[in-house]
Each structure stands twice: as structure tokens, then as C-alpha cells.
Amino acid sequence: MRDLTRLRGQVGVWEGLSKHLADTLELAELEDDDLYAELAREVETLQQEVDDLEFKTLFAGEYDQEDAILAIHAGAGGTEAQDWAQMLQRMFIRWAEAHKFTVEILDFSAGDEAGIKSCLMSFKGDYVYGRLKSERGVHRLVRISPYDGSSRRHTSFAKVELWPDVAEDIEIEVDEKDLRIDRFRASGAGGQHVQKNETAVRLTHYPTGIVVSCQNQRSLTQNMDVAMKILKAQLFELERRKQEAEMAALKGEDVDAGWGSQIRSYVLHPYKMVKDHRSNHEVGNTQAVLDGRLDDFMEAYLRYRVGEA
């Protein structure tokens, strides 16, 4: 039913565009100078609708239309890297808010002095996974450190991971004997239940070494359900990447999904620039990007992928 609803929505968009185009052509055939301003507005609206649909044709991946689960991990560098990880978290939240997407922080680990060591977030909305694919990888920050009394320039790294939220749509069996389940008290604000009860959950999957924790739901059962959902999504992504790597090896391609695959640099000193190292798209307004203006980078990456393919 969900697939049917989505397909009906897609067909409805094209039918609406077709009707809008027919109405505009009828207006143009009237050849009335008094209607020129209205006709110009209709043409401009049509152009925007066509541009939006052209952009959506770039989402050719099997799971691009799905919701997403995104994780951020601070790299080496202590407080500086942990602060950068929190800046990225804020950037993604601002981007989601601008598009009226639903974003929820599922789990986080606070930094020692500032920032965060890691966080796990859920994004729900139109083609969220397809949009966020451009963000998977290592993000590099160059700036004058606010934590350095000598005002020296520092380089920090943070890693972004991404999975399609398809746990409800796929069949993945997780054997209980392959799991270690740890219960602990959640940290941070959240009411008395956070401080007194062991509502947080950590799952360790022995065969793969994947560790998932969740603490932001109000009960142990809710945190367990969310953690299991995330574990299944990660197991699914692991298998998908394994199959892609095998296919790439058959084709003779070099697949590097390691920590060193730096995708984007954010330079705040000695000049201001954000540059994506895959698509070569760059902008000088660094503050706008850090405030969530990521769509240009996402589109440039999708067009780069199409060109590469």
C-alpha cells in the first residue's frame, strides 16, 4: 500500500504538469496583450516544475526514495574534532528543517569538553536517502581553533555514515545468540526516568562487530525496537556494499570506502571556501553551507554520479 501511494503520487505530479501545460497553451493561444503578465508567470511556474522533476530523475538508486539513518563520528583531534562533529550535526538538522523533513536524534555521545563524539539521527521525508547520499564520507574543516590559546590553524575530520531506513521492508533474521544486549542509564536531559531507570540499550552483533545504541526513547522497549531497526538497516547496507564490491572487483574497479576517502573540505581560514572533491562544486559562502544550504552540493554530486556512470 505504501508503494502504491508513492506511485500514485508520482503519476499525479506528471498528470498535474500535463494539465498545467495545456491550460497555459490555451492562455497563449488567446493572443491577448492584457494577459501577457499572467502568461509570463505561468511559464515561470512551469519552468520551476520541470526543473524540480528533472532533479528528481537524478534519484535513480533503488532506495533513493526511502527515509535515512545518518551517523556522525568525530575523528582524531580531541575537542577540536568533537566540536566539528557537532557543527555537522547542526548543519544537517538545519537542512532538514528548511525542507520540513522530520529529524530525530536517536543516540549521541557527548564530547569530553565540548561538541560530540558521535550521534545517530533519523531523517524522514521526500527522497531523503537519495539526497543525503552525497554526504557519506569524511568531512574536513580548516579554521583558527577557538580552543587554542595561541590562535593557531587546525585541521579536523569527522566521518558521516548513511543507511536507507528499510528495516520494515526487508527480511533480515538476527539470531539472539549472535547478540549481546547491554542495558544502562541514559545520559543527558530527559526527566526522572533517564536518571533512575536503565532505559538505554546497546546491541553488539558478534558476527560483524556492529555496535548500536539508543537512549532517546522513553522506555526500554522503545529503545530496543529502535536499536534493532538500526542494526537491521546496517546489516542490510553491509550486505549491499559487499555485493557492490564484488561486482566492482569483477569490473576491475578500485573500491575504497575507508576513512581516508575525504569528500569535502570546509576552509574558514586563511580564506573561506567549501569544496566537494568529487564534483568539484565549490562556494565561498561558508556560513550559508554550515547553516544547512546543501542542496547545490547534493545536486552537483548526483549529476557527477550520472556523468560518471
List the chain pLDDT tens, one digit each, 309 residues: 877 887 898 899 899 999 999 999 998 888 888 888 889 999 999 999 998 888 888 888 888 988 999 999 999 778 999 999 999 999 999 999 999 999 999 888 999 889 999 999 999 998 999 999 999 999 999 999 888 878 888 899 999 999 888 766 667 788 888 999 998 887 654 444 444 577 889 999 999 999 998 988 878 888 998 898 889 888 888 887 887 776 566 545 443 434 556 899 999 988 999 999 999 999 999 999 999 999 999 999 999 988 865
What is residue 246's predicted lDDT score, i.e. its pLDDT? 67
What is residue 248's predicted lDDT score, i.e. its pLDDT? 61
184 and 208 Cβ atoms separated by less than 8 Å: no
**Residue 234: which CATH number?**
3.30.160.20
CA atoms within 13 A on the CB side of 174: 23
Residue ranges making up the domain that contains 199: 176-251
Q: Round to whole Å and give the CA distance between 85 and 104.
A: 17
Structural domains in the chain (count): 3
Supply the DSSP symbol for 62: T
Q: Do 141 and 269 belong to one domain?
A: yes
120 and 68 Cβ atoms separated by less than 8 Å: no
User: The C-alpha cell of 82 is what?
Assistant: 568533537
234 and 212 Cβ atoms separated by less than 8 Å: yes
Q: Do 180 and 239 belong to one domain?
A: yes
Please tell me the pTM assigned to this model: 0.74
What is residue 10's predicted lDDT score, i.e. its pLDDT? 82
Which residue from 197, 69, 72 is spatially nearest to 128, judged by alpha carbons? 69
Q: Do 85 and 144 belong to one domain?
A: yes
Domain end among 226, 251, 276? 251
Q: Do 80 and 138 belong to one domain?
A: yes
Q: Do 147 and 272 belong to one domain?
A: yes
Q: Round to whole Å and give the CA distance between 106 and 111.
A: 17
Supply the DSSP symbol for 134: G
What is residue 259's predicted lDDT score, i.e. its pLDDT? 53
What is residue 186's predicted lDDT score, i.e. its pLDDT? 75
